[in-house]
Amino acid sequence: MGHDAGPKRDQKTVINRKRAIRRREVARTIRDVRSRIGSKEGIQNDFEQERQHLFADTRINSAFAVPILLLIVAAISSLWVNPILVSCWFIFTFCMHLLTVATCRSYEASPSGKRQTAIWLRRFTMSDLLYGCSWGLFFLLPKQNQTGDGFLVFQFATMLIVVAINTMQSATLPRALLAGTLPVSLTVTAAFLQQPEPIHYTLAAMAIGAQGFFLILGNQLIKNANTMLEYRAEKDHLIAELETANALSDESRRRAEEANLAKSRFLATMSHELRTPLNAILGFSEVMKDEILGPMNNGTYKGYAGDIHASGAHLLHLINEILDLSRIEAGRHELQEEAVHLEDIIEECCNMMQIRAKAKEINIEETHEGDLPRVWGDERALRQVILNLLSNATKFTPVNGKVQISLGRTHDGGQFVSIRDNGPGIPEEEIPVVLQAFGQGSVAIQSAEPGTGLGLSIVQALIAMHGGSFDLRSKLREGTEVIITLPKGRVMESMPAYQTPGTQATSDRRRA
């Protein structure tokens, strides 16, 4: 005994240690993922390539809007500037715009592996610098008509529009933003400062202030773009984790199905292999116990034969319950439904339990409501349910105890069966354990009553297949009550007798 207990304790210690290590690893993984997702610096990536893609995509999408702006500015400025100079400026600026768009299209067409961020950043910055300088040339064009401040206001408004558009298009790349907006603002400021009027100084100051404002706006747009990209990266990371978990779940489900199939095959094989010798054991032990072939002179041997027969019957009962529960869990248990009277089933089960109840001097009381209709269900399954509940109640009820079984209607038109005993009861914390397969409470363990712990599991499954409900109520030292309920849909209400038209006419004449 001592030599066998030592290796078992060591094996349990190793198993517990492995489980503890696994729990710590899972907790560490969850903590790392949460901290990485919740932290602002969780994803160590500046999203340079993603922001370059946004830059190129924005420039390509606005490719047709810029020429329209160029045409409008050129047409209006021809009122003050020589049309030939305006045309030359228009052609040069349009070419710079085409260069910028072509650069962006080349970036989008290139493979992702060849998109070195530093090289393309220089190209984008250079193209925006040329584009910004082309707009800066517009503010250096000499005007022909020197009267009025209309051209001055027009230049300032054009500067604001161009800087705003360049800020929106180049906000994802700070270098390109500076390269596209500073030439315009500096040129306008320098042009205004060359004039002696106060209005020019005012507009120059406003141009510098506008440039600062748009730089702040561009910085905020960059932060928003980074935040959006971080959220997208976190979402992609979570999707990848979910896909991994889904793959692991599918693999676990496949293994569970294989294990369940192996279990079903094992039970199907072992049921035959166990029942064959058990039938022989039960048969021969019964012959010896009942002394059919002659008296046994040794009483001890006769007692052994009775013990062998009782143990074999208990083992056969255990095998049958395991097979029933496995069949129900696998969804292969089919109900053979018909119209049955619950009171007839209850009476039959009580008669079967009378021998065991009389051995402990237990009184079984029956209470039935009158005129209960039949129910639609499996008679064998319902008999097994009530017999299991009665067996449990009789088993745990003390000597000279009482078991009450009641049958009646529910408030919604169904029918219920209540089985109550005055036994020791079940502690509230042990009720979930008792309702599980192979679960037994402390009372059953202390009393050493024979049982498998499968009866209540089978009862719950069979009642659930009928669409009913199962309720166990128990308190320590106050007894236990089990209530099973069948829904209204299974109650077959009695219908009035059908009368033919001739019978109805004859009945009317008799009344007359």
In sequence order, what are the beta bridge partners of 337?
378
- Distance in angstroms (rounded) separating the CA atoms of residues 287 and 256: 45
pLDDT per residue as tens, the chain (512 positions): 444 545 555 665 666 666 556 556 555 555 555 555 454 444 444 577 788 888 888 888 888 888 999 999 999 988 888 889 999 999 999 999 999 999 999 888 888 766 677 888 888 889 889 998 998 888 888 877 655 577 888 888 888 888 888 888 888 888 888 888 888 888 888 888 887 778 878 888 888 888 888 888 888 887 887 788 777 777 877 787 787 788 788 888 888 888 877 776 776 676 667 777 888 888 888 888 888 888 888 888 888 888 888 888 878 777 777 777 666 666 667 788 888 888 888 888 888 888 888 888 888 888 888 788 899 998 888 888 888 888 888 888 888 889 999 999 888 889 999 999 888 888 888 888 887 766 666 665 555 455 566 778 888 888 888 889 999 888 888 888 999 999 988 888 744 444 555 545 554 555 54
The first and second tokens of residue 202, run together, are 């005012």
Residue 91 is predicted with a pLDDT of: 93
Whether the CB-CB separation of 69 and 154 falls below 8 Å is answered with no
First to last CA, the chain: 95
**Nearest Cα to 473, choosing from 402, 412, 389?**
389
Residue type for 496, please?
P
Residue 35 is predicted with a pLDDT of: 55
The residues spanned by each domain of the chain are 1-35, 43-333, 340-490
Residue 497 is predicted with a pLDDT of: 45
Residue 262 is predicted with a pLDDT of: 77
Q: Look at the alpha carbons of 89, 90, 95, 99 in this order and tell me if their dihedral is positive or negative.
A: positive
Residue 348 is predicted with a pLDDT of: 87
Residue 3 is predicted with a pLDDT of: 47
Level-2 CATH architecture, domain 340-490: 2-Layer Sandwich (3.30)
Whether the CB-CB separation of 403 and 420 falls below 8 Å is answered with yes
Residue 2 is predicted with a pLDDT of: 45
**Nearest Cα to 421, choosing from 479, 474, 476?**
479
Q: State pTM to two decimals.
A: 0.46
Residue 511 is predicted with a pLDDT of: 52
Q: Look at the alpha carbons of 423, 429, 430, 432 in this order and tell me if their dihedral is positive or negative.
A: positive
Residue 448 is predicted with a pLDDT of: 43
Residue 194 is predicted with a pLDDT of: 80
Q: What is the 3-state secondary structure (H, E, C) of 406-461?
A: EEEECCCCCEEEEEEECCCCCCHHHHHHHHCCCCCCHHHHHHCCCCCCCHHHHHHH
Q: Report helix, strand or coil for 378.
A: strand
User: Using the 8-state DSSP alphabet, how is residue 81 labeled?
Assistant: B
The first and second tokens of residue 3, run together, are 């030599």
Residue 72 is predicted with a pLDDT of: 92
User: Using the 8-state DSSP alphabet, how is residue 141 labeled?
Assistant: P
**Nearest Cα to 479, choosing from 398, 366, 364?**
398
